[in-house]
Amino acid sequence: MGDANQTSPLVVARRLLHEVEVAHFEVDESIRRQSDEQPVALRIATGRFSKPGADAEMQDLLRERAPLIGDAMAEAWVGRRLTGREVEVTFVSAWRRLPEDHALDEAFWPDIALRYDQFAVEVYSTVGVE
């Protein structure tokens, strides 16, 4: 039956955005923190590697540092996907409030961001769907 109510995240995104590209990543177990609050923002930081093995090292670094992020972050995931001969590693995080100590649209850890061949951060505000 699919999405009879037309409220899936993909349907809402296609309705509100001009261009939507679906990308599939292998995702680790999530980092969850107890909260009754709904997220106010979703942050997607993705980097690309061409050097073999660099992606595994990056995933380990992200898993190690993610728990150090303040309690404004409600949940996070580390994932990877192959794109031709390159590998993309992503750090996706949901935020219950905007952090006071850094901007979501910047690299959290510049030393990590410099290791990527390419690096980008996207931040999305949540929208209510009824």
pLDDT tens string 45-84: 999 988 888 888 888 888 889 888 988 999 898 998 888 8
d(CA 128, CA 111): 36
Of 113, 109, 73, the residue nearest 92 (C-alpha): 73
User: Per the domain annotation, does 23 fall within a domain?
Assistant: no
Domain assignment of residue 97, given as a range: 37-125
d(CA 62, CA 77): 9
User: Per the domain annotation, does 25 fall within a domain?
Assistant: no
The CATH number given to whatever domain includes residue 70 is 3.30.70.100
pLDDT on residue 22:
67
d(CA 39, CA 53): 33
Residue 130: pLDDT over 50: no
d(CA 43, CA 62): 14
pLDDT on residue 83:
85
For residues 114-124, give the mean pLDDT: 91
User: Per the domain annotation, does 51 fall within a domain?
Assistant: yes
Number of domains in the chain: 1
Q: Which pTM does this prediction carry?
A: 0.77
Q: Which residue has the higher pLDDT, 59 or 13?
A: 59
Residue 85: pLDDT over 70: yes
User: Per the domain annotation, does 19 fall within a domain?
Assistant: no
pLDDT on residue 1:
45
User: Per the domain annotation, does 32 fall within a domain?
Assistant: no
Of 58, 57, 45, the residue nearest 92 (C-alpha): 45
User: Per the domain annotation, does 44 fall within a domain?
Assistant: yes
| SS3 state of residue 96 | coil
CA distances from 94 to 50, 74, 117 (A): 28, 6, 25
